[in-house]
Structure 1
Amino acid sequence: MPLIFFLLLFLLFAPWLFPFLLLFFLSLIFFLPFGFTIYSLYTILTVPVEIWRIATDKRLRKNHALEHATINVIEERFGPTNLAGLARKDGFYIKGFVDPILLEEAARVALFRMKRGEKSLAVHKRCGTTMAMVNFIAAVTFLLLLFLTGYLTVLNVLLALLVSYALGPLLSPWIQMKLTTSAKVDDMEILGVEYGGGGFRAWGLPFLYIPTDFFVRTIERKDLGRVRF
């Protein structure tokens, strides 16, 4: 409704722009299937490579699981958040507004609970794997429709998107559990949370900087002896 209202106002006050607007939408409809074809080919080539890269790195998968588990623990307590994460071999980033003390506590609780067998904590519905699966399924579906029908149409694009948004979120938890995370974290330990912050002065006035990027550093137990505290 807001979009329709905006278009009506637009046509009322600037009717001379209607032909240009119509031409723009027609061009978009015409070129959309071509652009989606290129995007689909790119997705089919890149998504499996990225999934394989993560799947073959055990350390990265463990930290990916801990990243999800930490956010899950926080959201169990405070409800849905806008926190995002990114796993690395030596830990994981958490991005968003969160108390670093709470974050470290949540990470340690998450690790403890996973060691006790709560493997479901390793899966999170907002994981990038979900979007990757949506894109991959859309690409496969669109190219399959193109092969079967022989036509580049907007309808095929819409059908591909419909199928992908229906199946992607359903497949994502399985992909996470089997390929992109590992709940086998018995040998993992958390060293702490690292972040920047503090304050600065400008024009003679003090300003407080609130950090939003945190790095939870982890280590495998066999490497603890190499760490200098």
Structure 2
Amino acid sequence: MAIASSPPTSSYFPFFSPEAAQDTNLLHQLGFVPGLKELLMVRQVHALEHATIWLLSDRTTANPALQHGQREVSLGGMSTEQGFYVYGAVTSMKLRQAVHSALLRLVAGDWDLAVHPRCGTNLSVGMVIATGLALGVPW
């Protein structure tokens, strides 16, 4: 079974249509909520991290220098409110190019880049919800 490393062409969530100014609008409406600005900042940085990983994964997967049997480069990341870290074998130049391209594509509306199926945050939220449902259902 092959696992695709390129971002999907159709939206994961067709019922949810993101907008470019949704975080700004949310801050205008709920700016009194403590920590909301910081949370939205981490969310945007996290989206940029995902988009960057998508683009770097596409470049390493399409690398003709990989010999048969060699594994592609494993990449990971961690977001903070001040930026993000990328872990893996990638040069600074390729990383800068990927971040710049990712930012341009996200701003242009390529929202699918913001979600990555191997994201630990997505997996942990799913596990918390599943656990909550399992504990809340009387057997």
TM normalised by structure 2 equals 0.59
Distance 1:56 1:91, change over 3 A: closer
SS at match of 1:126: coil
- State the match for 2:46 in structure 1: 64
- State the match for 1:137 in structure 2: 129
Aligned sequence identity (%): 36
Q: CA deviation at 1:60?
A: 1.3
- State the match for 2:59 in structure 1: 77
Determine the C-alpha separation between the residues in 2 that align with 1:67 and 1:97: 16
Instruction: Give CA-to-partner distance per residue, 1:142-175, whole Å, 9 cap, x none.
Output: 3134xx22xxxxxxxxxxxxxxxxxxxxxxxxxx
Q: CA deviation at 1:78?
A: 2.0
Q: Give 4+ residue runs of structure 1 displaced > 4 Å after superposition.
A: 53-56
Q: CA deviation at 1:104?
A: 0.9
Which structure's CA Rg is the greater one? 1
Greater relative CO, 1 or 2 (CA 8 Å, sep 6+): 2
Code of the aligned partner of 1:67: E
Instruction: Give CA-to-partner distance per residue, 1:115-148, whole Å, 9 cap, x none.
Output: 2211111111111222213321331233134xx2
- Which structure features the higher share of strand residues? 1
Determine the C-alpha separation between the residues in 1 that align with 2:79 and 2:127: 21
Instruction: Give 1:103's match in structure 2, choosing from 75, 90, 95.
Output: 95
Q: CA deviation at 1:56?
A: 5.9
Maintained 8 Å contact 1:55/1:61: no
- State the match for 1:118 in structure 2: 110
Maintained 8 Å contact 1:85/1:95: yes
- Which structure features the higher share of helix residues? 1
SS at match of 2:109: coil
Instruction: Give CA-to-partner distance per residue, 1:73-118, whole Å, 9 cap, x none.
Output: 1112223642111111221111111111111111111111112211
Gaps of 5+ in 2: 1-34, 62-71
Determine the C-alpha separation between the residues in 1 that align with 2:93 and 2:36: 29
Code of the aligned partner of 1:77: R
Alignment of 1:17-32 (within 5 A): none
Determine the C-alpha separation between the residues in 2 that align with 1:125 and 1:81: 17
- Report the aligned-residue RMSD: 2.2
Aligned length: 95
Determine the C-alpha separation between the residues in 1 that align with 2:116 and 2:36: 16
